[in-house]
Amino acid sequence: TNSKFSNHLKRLQSTLIIAEHDNKGLLPITQNALTAAKKLGGEISVLVAGTKCGPAAEALSKANGLSKILVAESDAFSGFTAESLTPLVISTQKQFNYTHIVAGASAFGKALLPRVAAKLDVSPISDVIGIKSPDTFIRSIYAGNAIQTLKANDPIKILSVRGTSFEPDVLEGGSVKSEPVSTDGCATDMTVFVSQELSKSDRPELTSAKSVISGGRGLKSGDNFKLLYDLADKLNAAVGASRAAVDAGFVANDLQVGQTGKIVAPDLYIAVGISGAIQHLAGMKDSKTIVAINKDPEAPIFQVADYGLVADLFKAVPELTSKLS
């Protein structure tokens, strides 16, 4: 009877995923969020809001297991501000009474979900790395040095999920039609989006790349990062950096891997000239294979590395690049 009861509960559950997109297409973290939502059980709806929702809704329509795709297209959502999206999520929640609201733990999800949660008087759960049951979740605390399992007591569970902890949904086999939702009351002058300055790169995106090569203070200058770019091109890898390298101005902020930057978990992570401070390890220690290249044999990075090479990076990296061709 217990399992029957819990099955009954699962049927009563319904999840709203807030899709992340850039008006040109769906962003990959939404596929990870979709996998997490499927672990919760129950019906799944996706809300796509933006100034141009067609491409994202089109991609989502192929996902299997969705019951609804809600589309809110309005100029009010220019810049995807939390101030304009919150009333939309609240009105959608009031209409359909979801038990769970889920988004990826990206800058977008992190800015939006807590605002929605406070409006619903619910305590949100950030950066979930595991789902044990519809009300029991796993997340990391203290920069990944402890793993907390918690039971949420609030009637509505609002979760941001760590992309690297859930496989991306393949977006195949489905054929759900989109339906428009009202965007009344979403326009606000509280916050106005002005502009965006995105770093352009032909390489794979850092958080979803299969391989990542990161450089630290040991690179000595921004110009020397070219050594890593050359190696990255051979491996079709993304390039990341430690906070030291970012603070020294070698590379842009958005390449930072760590507790305060991006959290990555690729198949292969090559740390070059990175000592391995706790804050950096928090962002990469779930990588499947970790390689460290550092001339200091005492560097803490060797304690988490599967393969270590104690060598001068200025010799080892070009050699590795040439041997990969």
- Measured CA to CA, the distance from residue 91 to residue 98 in angstroms comes to 11
Residue 24 contacts another protein per CB under 8 A: no
Residue 154 contacts another protein per CB under 8 A: yes
Using CB under 8 A, which of 4, 8, 94, 151 touches another protein?
A: 151
Residue 95 contacts another protein per CB under 8 A: no
Q: Do residues 204 and 232 make contact, with C-beta atoms less than 8 angstroms apart?
A: no
Name the burial class of residue 180, with classes exposed (0-12), middle (13-18) and buried (19+) by CB atoms within 10 angstroms of its CB. exposed
41-71 burial string, b = 16+ CB within 10 Å, else e? bbbbbbbbbbeebbbbbebbbebeebebbbb
Name the segment binding another protein (CB under 8 A); options: 30-38, 173-181, 213-221, 290-298.
290-298
CB of 196 to another protein, least distance (A): 5
Using CB under 8 A, which of 23, 187, 310, 314 touches another protein?
A: 310
Residue 170 contacts another protein per CB under 8 A: no
Taking the CA atoms of the chain, what radius of gyration do you get in angstroms? 21
Residue 60 contacts another protein per CB under 8 A: no
3-state secondary structure of 290: strand
Give the count of residues interacting with another protein (CB under 8 A): 89
Q: What are the structure tokens assigned to 226, written together?
A: 């070219």
Residue 145 contacts another protein per CB under 8 A: yes
CB of 187 to another protein, least distance (A): 14
Residue 169 contacts another protein per CB under 8 A: no
Q: Do residues 159 and 100 make contact, with C-beta atoms less than 8 angstroms apart?
A: yes
Q: Do residues 165 and 131 make contact, with C-beta atoms less than 8 angstroms apart?
A: no
The residue among 187 and 268 lying less far from another protein, judged by its C-beta, is 268
Using CB under 8 A, which of 9, 171, 187, 316 touches another protein?
A: 316
> Segment 237-256, which members bind another protein (CB under 8 A)?
243, 247, 252-254
Name the segment binding another protein (CB under 8 A); options: 39-47, 170-178, 185-193, 223-231.
185-193
- Measured CA to CA, the distance from residue 220 to residue 176 in angstroms comes to 52
Name the segment binding another protein (CB under 8 A); options: 9-17, 32-40, 77-85, 176-184.
77-85
